[in-house]
Amino acid sequence: MKPACPICGGRREPGQTTFTAELGFGVVVVRHVPALVCDQCGEEWIDDPVAVALEAVVEEVRAKQSLVEVTDWRERAV
Ligand SMILES: [Zn+2]
């Protein structure tokens, strides 16, 4: 049984979210990131391995110093 949403008690279902990170000099947007999404309040949870991979994307963009970087999880996930 899946753990209920700690905020509203709703069900957490596998879904997708858009991850954004503010870097100061720019922003990173990663679309279609796998996440658990509450079917009632819409709160999202990203699994640790996914969060680690997102952090790597952020570091990559930080190194490039892009003002805006929009990418898609499905193009990166292997
Ligand atoms: Zn909820």
pLDDT tens, position by position, 14-42? 999 999 999 999 999 999 999 999 999 99
pLDDT tens-place string over residues 38-77: 999 999 999 999 999 999 999 999 999 999 999 999 997 6
- At 78, the pLDDT band (50, 70, 90 cuts) reads low
Q: Which residue segments constitute the domains of the chain, with CATH numbers given?
A: 12-73 (3.10.20.860)
Q: Contact, 5 vs 12, CB < 8 A?
A: yes
How far, in Å, is the centroid of ligand 1 from the Cα of 41?
A: 4
| Span from the CA of 68 to the centroid of ligand 1 (angstroms) | 31
Q: Is the dihedral of CA 49, 61, 29, 8 positive or negative?
A: positive
C-alpha atoms less than 13 angstroms from C-alpha of 27 in its C-beta half-sphere: 8
Tell me the CA–centroid distance for residue 2 and ligand 1, in Å.
13
**Does position 2 have pLDDT exceeding 70, yes or no?**
no
Distance (angstroms) between ligand 1 centre and the Cα of 59 equals 31
